[in-house]
A and B are shown apart, each in its own frame.
Chain A
């Protein structure tokens, strides 16, 4: 048996009373805000499926939606796996197309053209900002329940294949994560799933994408939980694991079951494990350098007085010029990694060191100046090259120290770099094991990952993905104080049972109202304009309470406090609490458009906060 609850159109009422939309979304989310009522009842196949689905929904609406999420997770995983393979194919096609022009002296304009076209495409056609995608997904998960625009399912795939295929130094992983997440989000929207379910499907999309692009299902699962969702609960892990399997399986069916970077056998002994600590310091240094270089170049590019696509072209041209001398820096650079891991990169130590710096420069020029792509692949390249550099440096000082070849250090360098950039050691460990098949290196691999993360964390408290979010105060993780506070809105806490009094009321009349009221605070308004004028606390009238002579001679205007701190109905709750702490007050009047709305008090806040916390922390 089901109970039906009629829901009054609160959103409309809200908009009427405040003149503001119910949910304030930033530009990225607003366009895809769910329509509140569907007017189109034509029996298309989609509506038929939806009707059939709606009949099943009540059983699935509660905690018993795990089976449904597994089914959806598999579907989303397959879709994002296809997206990942599609991006791989288009990258290869693009690269082989541009390869024929790479021998001309003017080939340095190719990355410029690619970056400019990709920037124009994002800016003018899709109307999305540049950026690599992962922070956008995390922001959407924490603030809008995983709402992503439909066009995000393909926009980054196209723009990043233009940037990378033409030679820009960036990675295809973040774009494909964004696409997969958007696929998950839009499938959830199609079936009107709630936010919790939608977040799970966004995670499924991201996991399927990573699993598909690297043929690494565990890395897909761990990356999603550690970086995107940030919550290790069964409700997320189960569907995301299924999506990882689906994504990896699709990728294996379409492009064969191959490990991206095959290597020779390593004979890892204790010297390698100890030496990995030194490499962790090197990779951490490279991480910090790369993070700051990208930010610096972004900052610098912002000052160039030119349209956004011209800036992208300028960055691309500079990358192209570097590429004339060091072609290894161009593109995603996976063939470079392959060479490093195989141990077939023969150039000397000096060139390797230059290559590290050149790749970091090229990446910061590409991403910082407006190209489209991720930081995953460049990090892997820089990591493998710095691993090689470290190995050759040690060998030069102490020949014959290592029993392993340089490929092992290239592999460890990748782990150090990824864990430092993402500040996600588990992702790095599983990813490197999976994409190299090098389980024998697991001991130094774990060590380098955690040490590199720790060193990076002490220099850069937020990872590359989260730094912007942290700076804007948008970094919210599930089950944290900030998340609970952000979920509560002042309109949900405001108490409206205050007796409102007028400025010209005399004390005697006011005492009658005090007698009837249960509260100690009385808002005073101007009776002509209706505007909020001040507050009277019960303490304010205590001295005059028993002096009957004053009842007719004193007016509230003379008693009220006017220099009182107020809050607006749309203020952030964390901000309100901060102000309460500063002034030492336990409640504050909520004033919107100069009208008194109600009181917000710490007591009510604590009550609601606790309920919200109970809901968010038990599952």
Chain B
């Protein structure tokens, strides 16, 4: 098996310079000839155990861990689905309707749980963030194998009073469900960036088609990525 020095250094969680010095000083049972290093894996493992050094040889389970990447806003919205004409006169009614309609939440039980959590959060403080928009979400992440990070976009049949900060009735809800708090915050910050954009708000008021809405969000998100770079 062949490894670069950098890979050996990585499996020792050390700087390549240090590993090279260790080889030169004879502190590690690795032999260096010309530009090649030779070692017996068993000897190296024994050495690592004797010196209390962490050694994760490539191929072992620990090194296969893949860094989790946050899901983009666009995929979250695609996952959550876009729903039109939700009936209801009160926040509780529209929230129950939204929970029922969300396709990605499969089981009856889960839908009830979600509704309960959304109501809990709503009673604490309104999720109506102004300008006729609400972002209902559960306080604690819902951990279930069937639940991915998602945002359900719900256009309401008629504006509903959400006790929003600016007292304006809500005409659109983004129901945000995420399995981890980190994902939750990430999506929340992205959606609030979009909502600060005037033209996007204008577009929402026209109740756009699915394709138009998704295209607009994709555009906004790539702009955000570029800004951050």
A positions within 8 Å CB-CB of B: 1-10, 37-38, 54, 57-59, 61-64, 145, 192-198, 487-489, 491-493, 512, 515-516, 608, 611-612, 614-616, 618
Contacts and interface: CB of A to CB of B under 8 A. Distances in A.
Contact of B51 (A57, A58, A195, A615): A615
Contact of A2 (B15, B38, B52): B38
Contact of B40 (A54, A58, A192): A58
Interface in B12-28: 14-18, 20-28
Given A7-B5, A515-B228, A616 B27 contact: yes
Contact of B26 (A10, A196, A512): A196
Interface residues of B, number: 45
Contacts of B23: 194
24 contacts: A1-B41, A2-B38, A2-B40, A4-B2, A5-B4, A5-B8, A5-B39, A6-B36, A6-B37, A10-B5, A57-B31, A58-B31, A61-B39, A62-B47, A63-B29, A63-B43, A195-B25, A196-B26, A489-B21, A512-B228, A515-B228, A608-B18, A614-B53, A615-B51
Interface in B77-122: none
Contacts of B131: none
B214 interface: no
Q: Which of A5, A7, A64, A493 is most buried by chain B, counting CB atoms within 10 A of its CB?
A: A5
Contacts of A516: 228
B4 A6 contact: yes
Given A7-B36, A489-B21, 18 more contacts: A2-B38, A4-B37, A6-B4, A7-B32, A54-B33, A58-B31, A61-B30, A61-B31, A62-B43, A63-B47, A195-B24, A196-B27, A492-B17, A515-B228, A608-B15, A608-B18, A615-B27, A618-B52
A61 B15 CA distance: 22
B64 interface: no
A5 B29 contact: no
B3 interface: yes
A618 B51 contact: yes
A4 B44 CA distance: 13
Nearest to B9: A5
Nearest to B43: A62
B37 A5 contact: yes
A197 B28 CA distance: 12
**Which A-B residue pairs are the 6 nearest by beta carbons?**
A62-B29, A194-B26, A196-B26, A5-B37, A61-B31, A62-B43
B1 interface: yes
Contacts of B227: 512
B15 A3 contact: no
Contacts of A489: 17, 21
Contacts of A195: 24-26
A64 B31 CA distance: 13
Contacts of B65: none
Contact of A3 (B21, B35, B39, B47): B39
Contacts of B56: none
A145 B228 contact: no
